[in-house]
Amino acid sequence: MRTLLQQRVLNLLTQSSPANARRLLTNTSRTMASSSSETSANSIANETQANTEQSSNSPLPLPEPSPESQAPTIDVSTGQGVKLDHLGPMIVNKDGTLSRISNWAQLSEIERRNTLRILGKRNQLRMEALKTEDTA
């Protein structure tokens, strides 16, 4: 059975980063060893290390959107196409992934036209290269 101190230390360790967990664990092990609870400290250390390794492998979830969010909602149940022109053109990356220009809304009209002209040509070249790479 764990003591109250051991339980608090375990809670602290599982909520902190791996580096902080090791530091806390070392300090706690020293304190607990001096109070003749070395076996308990080692069991907590093993349990905490397993929890820390497990939590560091999984990505953190995104925060929930705020209720007053101004995010547009799109009804796709009608089967009609949806225009996302305000997001800007799609960019074909060299590895075949797609991305967008993050500051598209801030670009002037001349910058948008030039970007569309350059991206159109570059996207075509990249798509052709990817298609020939797939057939080879």
- Reported as a pLDDT band with limits 50, 70 and 90, residue 122 is very high
Choose the weakest-confidence range: 15-24, 104-113, 114-123: 15-24
- Reported as a pLDDT band with limits 50, 70 and 90, residue 75 is confident
Does 79 reside within a domain? Answer: no
The DSSP call for residue 102 is T
Distance, in Å, from the CA atom of 30 to the CA atom of 36, rounded to the nearest integer, reads 10
What is the residue-averaged pLDDT of the chain?
Answer: 75
Residue type at 126 in one-letter notation: R
Does 94 reside within a domain? Answer: yes
Are residues 92 and 52 part of one domain?
A: no
Confidence (pTM): 0.42
| Number of domains composing the chain | 2
Contact call for residues 13 and 6 (beta carbons, < 8 A) = no
60: left (phi over 0), alpha (psi -120 to 50) or beta: beta
Q: Taking the CA atoms of the chain, what radius of gyration do you get in angstroms? A: 27
Does 67 reside within a domain? Answer: no
38 contacts: CB under 8 Å, gap ≥ 6: 29, 32
Distance, in Å, from the CA atom of 44 to the CA atom of 33, rounded to the nearest integer, reads 12
4-33: per-residue pLDDT in tens?
666 666 666 666 665 666 666 666 566 655
Beta strands in the chain (DSSP E): 90-92, 98-100
pLDDT of residue 63: 81
119 contacts: CB under 8 Å, gap ≥ 6: 89, 91
28-59: per-residue pLDDT in tens?
566 655 554 555 656 666 666 665 555 556 78
Domain that holds residue 10: 4-57
Does 62 reside within a domain? Answer: no
